[in-house]
Chains A and B, each alone.
Chain A
Amino acid sequence: GPKVLQIPSHQIIDMGQMVTLNCDPVSNHLYFYWYKQILGQQMEFLVNFYNGKVMEKSKLFKDQFSVERPDGSYFTLKIQPTALEDSAVYFCASSWSKEDTQYFGPGTRLLVL
């Protein structure tokens, strides 16, 4: 099926530093999403993005979080500064339309020390 790539697969950083998670969505998809999964817990929606704008975000999407997709390149999630509670697996997804199936990447495992 359609493939979404995520870079890096793992990232370890010190609290307070900045981190950027990269997502390469399915090539003709227009809607992009980030989800967060803390170990042993449910996967939770963070944000979705269309046409250069955030469409909806959850309360987990703190002020320290930002997303962008400059010039059709990677869809990125930036956390600045990071906190210990940001440690989780972050999944990117994309879909062709608002009502269409979302396809997920393999996740980036972020550990904040």
Chain B
Amino acid sequence: GEKVEQHESTLSVREGDSAVINCTYTDTASSYFPWYKQEAGKSLHFVIDIRSNVDRKQSQRLIVLLDKKAKRFSLHITATQPEDSAIYFCAAVSNYNVLYFGSGTKLTVEP
């Protein structure tokens, strides 16, 4: 089955800088890649996704890149703010909308 690896377990940036979180996947059939954010004690909150028919998607300060050849996708958060601090999970979706999650990246944005 699908395996998703999330490369950074922790990431610390200064406010205003960019943060990049990288993930790789194994199943070439995966076609949908969502990102979720989890703040301390709260649920997973959907932030952005990308489908395999495009290689870039932007929503305000969030950019997702997809490299299907390398089976790699990444989340770029530009102009980071302290409220961006959270754990971010990448996921890849295969049949029946089953989400295979990465292990999470704890992002800290320092003022």
**Chain A interfacial positions (CB closer than 8 Å to B):** 1, 4, 31, 33, 35, 41-45, 48, 55-56, 58, 91, 93, 95, 98-107
B45: which A residues are within 8 A, CB to CB? 1, 104
Known contacts A45-B99, A104-B43; 8 further A-B pairs (Cβ under 8 A): A42-B101, A42-B103, A56-B96, A99-B32, A101-B49, A102-B34, A105-B43, A107-B43
Q: How many residues of B contact A (CB 8 A)?
A: 20
Interface residues of B (CB under 8 A from A): 32, 34, 36, 42-46, 49, 89, 95-104
User: What's the count of A-B pairs with C-beta under 8 Å?
Assistant: 54
Residues A103 and B97 in contact, CB atoms below 8 Å apart: no
List the A residue with the shortest CB-CB distance to B38. Answer: A104
Q: Which of chain B's residues has its CB closest to A46's CB?
A: B98
Q: Give Cα A33 to B44, complex, Å.
A: 14
CB pair B99–A42 under 8 Å, yes or no, is: no
Which 7 residue pairs spanning A and B have beta carbons closest together? A104-B44, A106-B43, A56-B96, A43-B101, A42-B103, A45-B98, A55-B96
